[in-house]
Structure 1
Amino acid sequence: MKTTKNRWLMALSAIAIHLSIGAAYAYSVYTNPIRDTMGWSTAEITLAFTIMMALAGFSAAFFGNFVERNGPRKSAIYAAVLFGAGQAGAGVAVTVDSPILFLLTYGLASGLGLGLGYISPVSTLVKWFPDRRGLATGMAVMGFGAGSLITAPVAGYLIESLGVTPTFYILGASYFVLMILGASYIAPPPKGWMPDGFKKDIASGKKVVKKDLSQLSAKEAVKTRRFWMLWTMMLINTTAGIMMISIASPMAQELVGLSAAAAATMVGIMGLFNGGGRLGWAAVSDYIGRPAVFMIFFILQIIAFVSFPNITNVLLFQAFIFIVVSCYGGGFSNLPAFIGDLFGTKELGAIHGYLLTTWSLGGILGPQIVSIIRERTDSYIPVFYIFTALIVIAFIVSLLIRLDINKLEKEHKQRNEGAA
């Protein structure tokens, strides 16, 4: 069976979906205009974002099996309906002056669409790029990281020109159209498909296909040590990254005297490192392997968090922040490929969903830990020591998962030699 689909257009379709749902991170542009226009409290407006982000990870876990049963196209269409309706529905909520409806639309519906849309194209993309798993998933997830960079200025312009309600309508409709266009092309490759160039390299001996450690269902995967080691690594990496994103501006102003304007510029650059880290680290992983990349993440972050309390140089302080944020983004882009390596592509979408619960938990734990410590000690310094300890634990786990992988590879080799 010959496919007429182009895998690079497949990647573009995945980017279109992720670019749309990634707009969720631009929520802050709505806060002041809604507060000033409607008189709602900042807490009410922010709660909708909190609900959306908390639901994103958990709905990814809930919908994982749905994606496996119904395929990426139908799943992405449902995601488009939920996310587009949630964003446009937020405009209705503002029109009728209903904070409760705002929570149900921007928070609940968008959150469900965000989680479903995040996982819908990923397992398919891994199958289309057996030779470049990391790069493939990195491209899609980079789109998610870049969504807010594009949406924030566009939304700001529309709010200033037309007002809050029309902005929600226009952007909600735009996200829906873009996601539907992406969904219309998404489809899995024929079973056993490989790109022609990759086949030739294998036939000539230039490349050797490294087999996945196993082909497990989601239920089987969660019963393995490897799953929970990867879950722990992701939770700590995500918690550290979200914590840094949540306090970067006030922390830099307090500790190294960065001005408010310079801190705002730094936050914008952080977005570039978040998105760039997703693509860069994922591409690197195709050459050095996913376990090595995660070990590098934790070594770099240990150096950063140990150094933060003693840094007085503004540029060096910002450089370490950018490193932490790039590792945060890189964790998400490497995750789908790592899942494929460890558990195969049989139910990659469902396993990916289960592991994305770390996204929701990290989004809750990171800001909570730093706010409690800052309130009780009136300092950010203890935060660095706590996260140093957590990342040391993550580094130890990354060593253990490497040993576990080596053990399984050795067992497979011995089994194959015995069979021969």
Structure 2
Amino acid sequence: MIKTRNRYVIASAGITLHLMIGGVYAWSVFTGPIVKQTGWAETSVSFAFSLAIFFLGMSAAFMGRLVEKFGPTITGTISSVCYGLGVFLTGIAISNQQLWLLYLAYGVIGGLGLGAGYVTPVSTIIRWFPDKRGLATGLAIMGFGFAALLTGPIAQTLMASFGVSSTFYILGIFYFLVMIIAAQFIKKPRKNELPKAVIKKASHFSLTGQNMTANEAVRTPMFWSLWFMFFINITTGIALVSAASPMAQSMTNMTANTAAIMVGILGLFNGFGRLIWATLSDYIGRPRTYSAIFILDIVMLITLILCKVPVIFALALCLLLSCYGAGFSVIPVYLGDVFGTRELGAIHGYVLTAWAAAGMVGPILLSYTHQILHNYFVTLVVFIVIALLALIVSLALQRALARMQEQVNK
């Protein structure tokens, strides 16, 4: 008889891993102190973050395959080594004022650790919670979204007490120790380990009745439809994240202090949006959820253009950020529903390349058009148009999957 491991312990380990690597979103806390100590340009320091996100997205495709081949414990361990080492070496780069080392340490090595750590728990948790896919995945990815709220204050306290470089030494060691311990608990369920009642309850989530390999999945129009939808969702969201404060001040009479408070609230909506939308998707289905996300995106983007009332403007941004967070938590479950969980880690990794692309396109598009035109109107119109295109793709995919599900259920 197979001894059943506690799936909630495994989920907790996955959430812990994401809480550690999610500290990357607190990079802005370090930007000012690093600039002050080294004399580097602020744009140069900020580029380290962009580089880390780029390598996260690009390495996720490769790391996703490793999850399937060697298991999540191995990739979680790789993540702990790379991310911990990258953060530690960042302290050395700052201490010695070597900008190239900052990019190598935080951007490349740390980015590889981020990619490995991001894909490690997601597909594993979906396998452990086939009956609650959305809720379980939402909890894990919510940890990534909320991490900055914890890392920011802790980092500020450490920098005030020990200095910038030493803070990175401390965080690097801490991340490594916590992550490598958590990684040892993240394991795939063995055959017949899950109760039959759980498997039976989960059976209705499959939309196609298929269990594809990653190579088979990427050859389908469904994969590229989902890639495009994810890319558009993240392009819009990450651009708004990068410019929420100046946009609110420019388009309404919102003060800088109020805008700063708003940015903190946006972080909460980004985090909770991951959990709420993913949980909702367990009840209404992933296709309807993604279509609803794009409908809300379009309505709220129009609201940003038309409304100059600060409170309503801020509320629209909050709802947009909840949709941004939703994209991350709903997409892996959607992939599992469409392609099965056979090589879900690899398939999810391939889709995350859209994150790398969106991280470059969104903020650059918004900042460039604002620099040339001195307003955000054109960019918001562009975002409305591409969200409308994504909605059309989403609805078409929804209809195609409904027909396939009818065939499966016959």
TM above 0.5: yes
Q: Give the superposition deviation at 1:188.
A: 0.8
Distance in 2, matches of 1:207 and 1:244, equals: 36
Q: Quick one: which of 377, 381, 386 aligns to 1:381?
A: 377
Distance in 2, matches of 1:25 and 1:287, equals: 30
Greater shift, 166-175 or 208-217, is seen at 208-217
Query: Retained in 2: the 8 A contact 1:212–1:344?
Result: no
Distance 1:69 1:208, change over 3 A: closer
Q: CA RMSD in A?
A: 1.4
Q: Quick one: which of 406, 416, 419 aligns to 2:402?
A: 406
Match of 1:57 in 2: 57
User: TM-score, normalised on structure 1?
Assistant: 0.95
**1:215 aligns to what SS in structure 2?**
coil
Greater shift, 404-413 or 87-96, is seen at 404-413
Q: Which runs of 5+ in 1 are unaligned?
A: 415-420
Residue correspondence of structure 1 range 18-167 to structure 2 within 5 A: 18-167=18-167
Query: Retained in 1: the 8 A contact 2:4–2:194?
Result: no
Distance 1:212 1:299, change over 3 A: closer
Distance in 2, matches of 1:302 and 1:273, equals: 18
Does residue 357 in structure 1 map to residue 330 in structure 2?
A: no
Does residue 311 in structure 1 map to residue 304 in structure 2?
A: no
User: What one-letter code is carried by the residue in structure 2 that aligns with 1:117?
Assistant: G
Residue correspondence of structure 1 range 157-196 to structure 2 within 5 A: 157-195=157-195
Match of 2:11 in 1: 11
Q: Give the superposition deviation at 1:196.
A: 6.6
User: What one-letter code is carried by the residue in structure 2 that aligns with 1:18?
Assistant: H
Distance in 2, matches of 1:65 and 1:307, equals: 41
Match of 2:242 in 1: 246
Q: Which runs of 5+ in 2 are unaligned?
A: none
Distance 1:110 1:395, change over 3 A: same
What percentage of residue pairs aligned between the two structures are identical?
43
Does residue 323 in structure 1 map to residue 311 in structure 2?
A: no
Match of 1:292 in 2: 288
Distance in 1, matches of 2:335 and 2:271, equals: 21
Distance in 2, matches of 1:350 and 1:159, equals: 38
Query: Retained in 1: the 8 A contact 2:159–2:167?
Result: yes
Query: Retained in 1: the 8 A contact 2:270–2:325?
Result: yes
**1:55 aligns to what SS in structure 2?**
helix
Match of 1:418 in 2: none
User: What one-letter code is carried by the residue in structure 1 that aligns with 2:219?
Assistant: K
Q: Give the superposition deviation at 1:4.
A: 4.0
Does residue 370 in structure 1 map to residue 371 in structure 2?
A: no
Task: Please list the CA deviations of residues 178-231 of structure 1 after superposition, one character each: whole Å capped at 9, or x if unmatched.
Answer: 1112101111112244347636xx5xxx88644452100000001111101111
Query: Retained in 1: the 8 A contact 2:131–2:202?
Result: no
User: TM-score, normalised on structure 2?
Assistant: 0.97
Residue correspondence of structure 1 range 214-293 to structure 2 within 5 A: 214-293=210-289
Query: Retained in 2: the 8 A contact 1:242–1:367?
Result: yes
**1:171 aligns to what SS in structure 2?**
helix
Query: Retained in 1: the 8 A contact 2:206–2:338?
Result: no
User: What one-letter code is carried by the residue in structure 2 that aligns with 1:185?
Assistant: F
Q: Give the superposition deviation at 1:53.
A: 0.8
Greater shift, 283-292 or 369-378, is seen at 369-378
Task: Please list the CA deviations of residues 72-96 of structure 1 after superposition, one character each: whole Å capped at 9, or x if unmatched.
Answer: 0011001100000000110111222
Distance in 2, matches of 1:178 and 1:270, equals: 28
